[in-house]
A and B are shown apart, each in its own frame.
Chain A
Amino acid sequence: MADWLIRQFGGDAASPWAWVVYAGVALFQAVVILAVVMTIVAFATWVERKVAGRIQDRLGPTRVGGRFGWLQPLADGLKLLCKEDLIPRDADGFLFRLAPYAAFAPAFAVFLALPFADGWVAQHLNIAVFFILAVAGLEVFGIILGGYASGSKWSLLGAMREGAQVVSYEVPLTFSAVIPVLIAGTMDLTAIGNMQRGWFWNWFLFHDPFTFAAFWIYMTCATAGTNRAPFDLAEAESELVAGFHTEYSGFRWSAFYMGEYASMTAFSGLAAILFLGGWNGPIPVLSAVGLTAASGPLAGFLGNLLGSVNFLAKCLAGVVFMMWLRWTLPRLRIDQVIAMCWKYCFPLVCAAFVGAVLWTYFFPGGLIFGRPLGTVPEVASPSAPRVAAAGAANRAGNGGGRTIASAPQAAGEGRGSYRAGSAALGAEGSRPKSVPEGRSGG
């Protein structure tokens, strides 16, 4: 998206004002991301109230803004803005003021590298997975800072717990995120998403039993990493009043709150791309009706739009899953939380890692339905010229119609520097690379 914008506004590096264009585009993207994230966060708070209500056999918000309480987040926001802004006398004022932003900014910065659809990303990074995990891990510093600066023992205890918990859970979280990276052979999220194109058994979730296990470990660790119940020891109300944000009120408190929801969304989004096929639906409808970039810019745009809706739906499913956990399970004790990480999650994810490596080596085709790895399944519509050459052989076999062909040539010219990179590594030596498989679909 950035490239397109820059080209539109003549971001010619030779012109002396090129940097103004770049800065303007960057600012525009920041505003867009902020708007999207804030909308998601507001929606998620409403969903949380509704889900909690339904699980507890209540109705949840019903009054504000019609029958379903749609405008409840707005009312909440207004209420929070109008609240008195307190700073305790014994607090360290400077750090106390800064901490909420230090907690919120990383959760927001994660979306910089998170693609919403093929190519719809603010900054395309070839290490996007790593970048997201690294930046998401910074949120804990804001929380530690806030807890310490409050000058209250509840806050300090909550902050220490949060620090211990997040630093511990980062290890299995990163390990389980490495497994799909290992299968894909790239850390580029756009490429990983595009590799899972086609039917839902192409998703890495169904690649082999170990990725399936890794997904659940990932979701557990993401719940713990975002400090949600049943792992919300940092704000355990029954013991610590409100944990690290005991002394916070009004807007500063809501910054922590928004940070929590934004990072929940970010972790769910990462899970959606790594395991759940990203912007590719379970059934390749979009390609079947020709809404791909290959059939023209407008079709590509529409396809991306629907793809991003798909992605957001998966994101939201992950968020609702976390909420479901929160309102179903009782809170653990702090020693149980740490034991859960090091005694269960970590060995399990190590086993899954080794298992996924072995599976990829012995069964490079994935589970039963799998395509040969290293090829991107391409649904060839009759008007797609770029797969015509590859699809010709297949079409001869199954008599025309719509053909799902995994076309090595198409894979080679698709976006993704990963292809050149992994070809250069010779990493694909053991994979059957040039087996065009034809399946009739439709």
Chain B
Amino acid sequence: MDWNWVFFIILAAITVTSAVAAVITSHIVRMAFYLVVCLGGVAGLFFLAGAYFLGAVQLMVYVGGTVVLIAFGVMLTARTPFVRMQTTPDQWLLGLATAATLSAVLVQANLRFPRPADPPPAVTEPAVSPGGLGTALLGLRIDAASPAEEGTDGAASLGLAYLLPFELVSVHLLTVLIGAAYLARPRRPTGTESEGRREAAWGQSGGPDAALAALAAAQDGGS
């Protein structure tokens, strides 16, 4: 038992427990909170696996960005404070049945995974530096990519680098940015009932704060 194992067990326990708690709870903001704990645990597992840059990206983009976005979504779409989600028993049954089946299949597959026969060797190999990741994204692999390519110079490993996916992801992000802004744009109230309070507030007095004030007032009245 060495400290690698200790930390793995602690982090895995945090991750798994909070993931299960996120499913069980019916309170949506608590769900987001458990998601944060779970994602933080996953970031810790990344650090433990030597993927420092990945762990920091996970913390920054996922925990700092995505989950804040989700919390925003909860607050902007809440009609009463502390929204609860009703899950009917049949849905729970369906969910649990699927969960049981899936875990049976996946754990079975996991157990069949060829495991090393002898005790695993100790490693002192350093983690990947962020510079390596950066150059790989820019189209140049500086690590020995695969045994087949050893002995060749750097130019030969160009084929394995990730310049094109990197560009695709950037363009994709831009597209999503514009698309999301277009979808969630404020619209003029048309007077129909279904337009909702939020949009009315956006249209009349303009600005996010007015909409928030209207939302908060509605929440306060509801409680």
A contact residues vs B (CB 8 Å cutoff): 13, 16, 18-19, 22-23, 90, 92, 94-95, 98, 102, 125-127, 130-131, 133-135, 137-138, 140-141, 144-145, 148-149, 151-153, 156-157, 159-161, 163-164, 167, 170, 186-187, 334-335, 417-418, 421-422, 424-425
Q: Across the interface, do A94 and B60 meet the contact criterion of CB distance under 8 Å? A: no
Smallest CB–CB gap between B210 and chain A, Å?
10
> Please, how many residues of chain B have a CB less than 8 angstroms from a CB on the other chain?
46
**With A90-B223, A127-B53, A134-B64 as contacts: A157 and B71 at CB distance below 8 Å:** no
Q: Across the interface, do A163 and B71 meet the contact criterion of CB distance under 8 Å? A: yes
**Which chain B positions have C-beta within 8 A of A186?**
131
Q: Across the interface, do B217 and A153 meet the contact criterion of CB distance under 8 Å? A: yes
**With A95-B29, A153-B220 as contacts: A144 and B122 at CB distance below 8 Å:** no
10 closest A-B pairs by beta carbon, nearest first, are: A19-B3, A134-B60, A153-B216, A137-B64, A134-B59, A421-B131, A22-B3, A153-B220, A130-B56, A134-B56
Smallest CB–CB gap between A11 and chain B, Å?
9
CB of B162 closer than 8 Å to a CB of A: no
CB of B213 closer than 8 Å to a CB of A: yes
**With A23-B3, A135-B59 as contacts: A92 and B27 at CB distance below 8 Å:** yes
Q: Contacts A131-B59, A160-B75, A335-B207 given; 11 further ones with Cβ under 8 A?
A: A18-B2, A19-B1, A22-B3, A23-B3, A126-B127, A126-B130, A156-B75, A156-B216, A417-B126, A421-B131, A424-B131
**Which chain A positions have C-beta within 8 A of B36?**
102, 141
Looking at chain A's contact residues, the main secondary structure is helix
CB of B68 closer than 8 Å to a CB of A: yes
A-B contact pairs, 20 of them (CB 8 A): A92-B82, A94-B30, A95-B30, A126-B127, A127-B56, A131-B52, A137-B65, A138-B64, A141-B67, A148-B74, A156-B212, A156-B216, A156-B219, A161-B212, A163-B68, A167-B68, A334-B209, A417-B126, A418-B131, A425-B131
Q: Across the interface, do A145 and B53 meet the contact criterion of CB distance under 8 Å? A: no
Which residue of chain B has the shortest Cβ distance to A164 in the bound complex?
A: B208
CB of B45 closer than 8 Å to a CB of A: no
**Which chain A positions have C-beta within 8 A of B216?**
153, 156-157
Task: Choose one: B29, B60, B207; the contact of A148 (CB below 8 Å).
Answer: B29
User: In the bound complex, what is the Cα–Cα distance between A92 and B33 (angstroms)?
Assistant: 13
Smallest CB–CB gap between A287 and chain B, Å?
29
**Which chain A positions have C-beta within 8 A of B220?**
152-153
CB of B72 closer than 8 Å to a CB of A: yes
Q: Across the interface, do A137 and B29 meet the contact criterion of CB distance under 8 Å? A: no
User: In the bound complex, what is the Cα–Cα distance between A424 and B141 (angstroms)?
Assistant: 11
**Which chain A positions have C-beta within 8 A of B29?**
92, 95, 145, 148-149
CB of B6 closer than 8 Å to a CB of A: yes
CB of B175 closer than 8 Å to a CB of A: no
Q: Across the interface, do A138 and B63 meet the contact criterion of CB distance under 8 Å? A: yes
CB of B142 closer than 8 Å to a CB of A: yes
Interface centre among A16, A134, A186, A424 (most CB of B within 10 A): A134
Smallest CB–CB gap between B37 and chain A, Å?
9
Which residue of chain B has the shortest Cβ distance to A145 in the bound complex?
A: B33
Q: Across the interface, do A95 and B33 meet the contact criterion of CB distance under 8 Å? A: yes
Which residue of chain A has the shortest Cβ distance to B6 in the bound complex?
A: A19
Smallest CB–CB gap between B129 and chain A, Å?
5
Which residue of chain B has the shortest Cβ distance to A123 in the bound complex?
A: B47
Q: Across the interface, do B68 and A126 meet the contact criterion of CB distance under 8 Å? A: no
Smallest CB–CB gap between A270 and chain B, Å?
14
Chain B 168-188 interface 0/1 with A at a Cβ cutoff of 8 Å (1 = within): 000000000000000000000
Interface centre among B27, B64, B74, B207 (most CB of A within 10 A): B64
CB of B81 closer than 8 Å to a CB of A: yes
User: In the bound complex, what is the Cα–Cα distance between A133 and B81 (angstroms)?
Assistant: 32
Q: Across the interface, do A16 and B1 meet the contact criterion of CB distance under 8 Å? A: yes
Which residue of chain A has the shortest Cβ distance to B154 in the bound complex?
A: A426
Task: Choose one: A22, A125, A170; the contact of B52 (CB below 8 Å).
Answer: A125
**With A134-B64, A148-B75 as contacts: A187 and B223 at CB distance below 8 Å:** no
Task: Choose one: A22, A98, A160, A418; the contact of B72 (CB below 8 Å).
Answer: A160
User: In the bound complex, what is the Cα–Cα distance between A124 and B213 (angstroms)?
Assistant: 45
**Which chain B positions have C-beta within 8 A of A159?**
75
Q: Across the interface, do A133 and B130 meet the contact criterion of CB distance under 8 Å? A: no
